[in-house]
């Protein structure tokens, strides 16, 4: 059996195991309230099942704990790092309920049942509990809610709205468990339980309209987060679990990778050929098996194949190409690093069978603080000397022997594996993030990881969708998986362009799939080619396909000022770059239900083509705004479905009226300086604004205020664009910037060239309506 077929068969087997259900649910008696007191942190109630606590953490967030009568302060939860803030709250009571209210939120506890209901400041009911059950074999919380349910991580089942389905939160290759449930109806729920969990949504035979059921935990533990906008829910989640730091500018360029480059010469040759062909490129990736046989985990490159790792990375840097390398949490028996971790008590004792290739290995305990520190020290003292720019953490679920459920049997430093199961990738990425911050302070940390858990955005970690198959069916599953992942509060996602398994660039059918995936990838946060089998560098494809790939890459690089500004919005305002339509148009029912389109930033609507032999695809344009075809400037009224041109060279793109889109010059890498102007495309129809962001492109300076923003404002009535001067600054900043201002509705008209400096400018675009 070939490697690809073997790994695909294993993946299919794992998917079947993941579908297994938790033990049957049993309803417990209703916990009537027996007593209620007001404490320093909130409302404390005694019920037949134990104690119920309602703690306000902010005007819009409350923490709910229902568990044992004493000695319990919540489940194991490394995700939440915030503390309750200062909140103006008060408690009142009626014959029917107790109420804790903040200026934005009301929480009521029914006296007869102990069930909670959540209302906004105007008394509108948002969510009500329908029952809870706390037993030795798990905990369940039911909710009376029938609206759309999103989030919950990444699940490649093709589902966008989870109604009518069960979602299993269990870390495994291609399935990522993030226990944040979000809705367009004004709220989110962060479920603070790292055990394997099932979320049932709108099942006809379900015990509750929505139930969250974990197989371990001493009690019910969750944060209710008030919106009403989904951006506000995501912001609340990140205030609880940590901000997303800025990635370096080069992160948003093209990444070329494969499984795997076998020699130093091969890796250098790939970068050199991209530069020779003048195809933009910012990073190459060294995947696994660069080590000698039996040395997996010693973090040493095989000197016969990689004789000078530092010289190799230096040569890439000289070409303005960044370099990332794969590291695993796994260790071959007999390795020096493995023995060191074992001596420190930071290695699981089981010798697991490899998924691939044949062999056995140990996995380190990322739950142990000393284990995390030592794990990074081992990487830093070996691979770190070469100057790599980022770290690829493969199999970070952790994979162990490849069979879901194995983590249950492990005793970790944080407790039984059954209780802490899903949190491994958060702790593992924390090890590398904290170590990189300490040992490479001049660089912004970057981590690519196959798995994620709540809070992972604070570790500069970007998750990809795992070992996917290169088929149209799997391709179509990527978009709802991605949108639910970003609706889970973690902003950065990607997929292996073209799928990991299968695909021959010489096959015209695969070239079509690859082209469509590449176009989609250009509008993902991360733009990365990867896969096993035949290499997928641009020159592997025929001339016609190469032309489309070049044009798509060029468009991605022209969009870098827009993308980099969007990444600042993620860091500074808890924004989201890859946005389900529900984030911007939650009052539009058709937009909310649309899972095959999305907003990339707040200006561009992307409708990727995910079917073969397609020249036209239908696109829904949300209501209450006009839209412009990005390619032609043609204007459309919102609230309609249109037939968009979608030949093999075209991905349907639309810009929202009132948008100001900055397009940079053609460059070969993200940080390349250019004397050419930035184009500002104005999409008329309503007033609008955009904050253009810039900084040094890498390093921690932005955390100390070393950055600049420029406000661009469009006044529709006067048909004028205002360009404000830079606010702030950073070393090496260009104080003057040339712009060409164009009306996107009239693309044939010449633009107006201006140079913006220390004073504000106004640019008139007569007739731009």
Residues belonging to the active site? 394, 397, 467
Q: Can you tell me whether residue 730 is helix, strand or coil? A: coil
Alpha-carbon distance of 325 to 344, in angstroms, equals 26
Q: Which two tokens stand for residue 137?
A: 């074999």
- Name the strands in the sheet holding 653-656, side by side, starting at the edge strand that comes first in the sequence: 578-579, 598-600, 604-606, 653-656, 626-629, 635-637
Beta bridge partners of 26: none
**b/e for 580-616, b at 16 or more Cβ within 10 A?**
bbbbbbbebeebbebbbbbbbbbbbbbbbbbeeeeee
φ, ψ for residue 512, nearest 5 deg = -65, -50
Q: Which of 75, 73, 55, 72 is nearest to 64 (CA)?
A: 55
Beta bridge partners of 642: 619
Give me the residue label for tokens 């109420």: 99
Alpha-carbon distance of 141 to 135, in angstroms, equals 12
Alpha-carbon distance of 324 to 285, in angstroms, equals 5
Give me the residue label for tokens 């290169």: 470
Q: Can you tell me whether residue 576 is helix, strand or coil? A: coil
CA–CA–CA angle 483, 645, 252 (5° rounding): 40
Q: Which two tokens stand for residue 10?
A: 């294993």
Alpha-carbon distance of 657 to 681, in angstroms, equals 11
DSSP string, 206-217: -SSSEEEEESS-
Cβ atoms of residues 209 and 551 within 8 Å: no
φ, ψ for residue 546, nearest 5 deg = -55, -40
Cβ atoms of residues 48 and 31 within 8 Å: yes
Q: Can you tell me whether residue 324 is helix, strand or coil? A: strand
Alpha-carbon distance of 516 to 503, in angstroms, equals 13
First to last CA, the chain: 62
The DSSP output letter for 293 is: T
Alpha-carbon distance of 653 to 125, in angstroms, equals 38
Distance from chain centroid for Cα 54? 30
Classify burial at 204, counting beta carbons within 10 Å of its beta carbon; exposed 0-12, middle 13-18, buried 19 or more: exposed
Alpha-carbon distance of 605 to 636, in angstroms, equals 13
DSSP string, 386-452: GT-SEEEETTTTT-TTS-TTGGGG-EETTEEHHHHGGGHHHHHHHHHHHHHHHH-TTS---EEES--
Cβ atoms of residues 412 and 420 within 8 Å: yes
Helix or strand run (H / E) with residue 659: none
CA–CA–CA angle 221, 417, 393 (5° rounding): 100
Give me the residue label for tokens 């003057």: 736
Cβ atoms of residues 53 and 43 within 8 Å: yes
Cβ atoms of residues 195 and 217 within 8 Å: yes
Distance from chain centroid for Cα 599? 15
DSSP string, 459-527: GTEEEE--S-BSSHHHHHHHHHHHHHHHTTT---EE--BT-SB---TTSHHHHHHHHHHHHHHTTSSSE
Cβ atoms of residues 468 and 474 within 8 Å: yes
Distance from chain centroid for Cα 610? 21
The DSSP output letter for 547 is: H
């Amino acid at each position: 059996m070939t490697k690809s077929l073997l790994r695909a068969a294993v993946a299919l087997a794992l998917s079947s195991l993941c579908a297994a259900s938790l033990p049957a649910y049993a309803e417990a008696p209703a916990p009537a309230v027996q007593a209620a007191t007001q404490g320093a942190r909130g409302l404390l109630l005694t019920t037949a099942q134990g104690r119920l606590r309602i703690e306000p953490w902010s005007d819009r967030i409350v923490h709910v704990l229902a568990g044992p009568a004493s000695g319990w302060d919540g489940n194991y939860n490394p995700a939440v790092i915030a503390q309750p803030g200062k909140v103006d709250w008060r408690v009142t009571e009626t014959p029917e309920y107790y109420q804790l209210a903040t200026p934005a939120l009301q929480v009521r506890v029914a006296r007869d049942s102990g069930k909670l209901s959540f209302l906004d400041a105007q008394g509108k009911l948002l969510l009500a509990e329908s029952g809870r059950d706390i037993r030795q074999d798990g905990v369940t919380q039911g909710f009376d809610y029938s609206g759309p349910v999103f989030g919950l991580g990444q699940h490649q089942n093709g589902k966008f709205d989870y109604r009518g389905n069960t979602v299993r939160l269990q870390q495994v290759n291609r399935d990522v468990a993030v226990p944040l449930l979000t809705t367009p109806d004004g709220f989110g729920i962060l479920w603070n339980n790292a055990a394997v969990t099932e979320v049932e949504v709108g099942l006809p035979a379900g015990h509750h309209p929505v139930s969250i059921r974990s197989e371990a935990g001493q009690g019910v533990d969750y944060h209710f987060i008030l919106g009403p906008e989904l951006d506000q829910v995501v912001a609340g989640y990140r205030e609880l679990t940590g901000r997303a730091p800025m990635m370096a500018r080069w992160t948003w360029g093209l990444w070329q990778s494969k499984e795997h480059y076998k020699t130093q010469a091969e890796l250098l040759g790939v970068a050199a050929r991209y530069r020779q062909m003048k195809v933009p490129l910012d990073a190459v990736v060294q995947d696994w098996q660069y080590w000698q046989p039996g040395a997996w985990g010693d973090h040493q490159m095989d000197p016969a194949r990689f004789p000078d790792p530092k010289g190799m990375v230096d040569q890439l840097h000289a070409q303005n190409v960044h370099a990332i390398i794969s590291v695993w949490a796994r260790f071959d028996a007999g390795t020096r690093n493995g023995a060191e971790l074992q001596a420190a008590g930071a290695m699981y004792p089981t010798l697991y069978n490899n998924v691939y290739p044949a062999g056995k290995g140990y996995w380190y305990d990322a739950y142990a603080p000393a284990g995390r520190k030592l794990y990074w020290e081992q990487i830093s003292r070996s691979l770190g000397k070469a100057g790599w720019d980022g770290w690829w953490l493969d199999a970070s679920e952790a994979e162990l022997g490849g069979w879901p459920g194995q983590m249950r049997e492990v005793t970790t430093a944080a407790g039984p594996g059954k209780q802490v199961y899903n949190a491994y990738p958060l702790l593992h990425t924390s090890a590398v993030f904290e170590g990189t911050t300490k040992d490479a302070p001049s660089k912004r940390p970057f981590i690519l990881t196959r798995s994620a858990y709540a809070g992972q955005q604070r570790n500069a970690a970007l998750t990809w969708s795992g070992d996917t198959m290169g088929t149209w069916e799997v391709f179509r599953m990527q978009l709802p998986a991605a949108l639910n992942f970003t609706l889970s509060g973690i902003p950065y996602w990607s997929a292996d362009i073209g799928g990991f398994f299968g695909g021959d660039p010489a096959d015209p059918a695969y070239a079509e799939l690859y082209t469509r995936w590449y176009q989609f990838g250009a509008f993902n946060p991360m733009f990365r080619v990867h896969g096993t089998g035949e290499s997928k560098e641009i020159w592997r494809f025929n001339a016609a396909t190469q032309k489309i790939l070049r044009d798509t890459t060029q468009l991605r690089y022209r969009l870098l000022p827009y993308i980099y500004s969007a990444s600042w919005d993620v860091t500074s305002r808890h924004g989201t770059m890859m946005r389900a339509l529900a984030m911007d148009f939650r009052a539009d029912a058709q937009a909310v239900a649309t899972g095959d389109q999305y907003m990339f930033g707040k200006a561009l609507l992307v409708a990727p083509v995910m079917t073969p032999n397609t020249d036209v695809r239908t696109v829904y344009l949300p209501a209450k705004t006009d839209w412009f075809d990005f390619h032609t400037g043609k204007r459309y009224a919102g609230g309609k479905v249109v037939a968009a041109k979608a030949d093999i060279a075209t991905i349907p793109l639309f810009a929202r009226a009132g948008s100001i889109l900055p397009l940079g010059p053609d460059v070969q890498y993200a940080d390349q300086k250019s004397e050419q102007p930035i184009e500002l495309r104005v999409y008329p129809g309503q007033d609008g604004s955009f904050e253009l962001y810039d900084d040094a492109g890498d390093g921690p300076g932005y955390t100390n205020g070393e950055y600049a923003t420029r406000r661009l404002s469009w006044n529709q009535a006067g048909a004028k664009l205002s360009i404000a001067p830079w606010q702030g600054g950073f070393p090496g900043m260009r104080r003057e910037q040339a712009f060409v201002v164009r009306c996107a509705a009239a693309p044939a008209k010449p633009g107006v060239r201006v140079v913006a400096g220390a004073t504000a400018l106004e640019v008139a675009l007569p007739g731009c309506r």
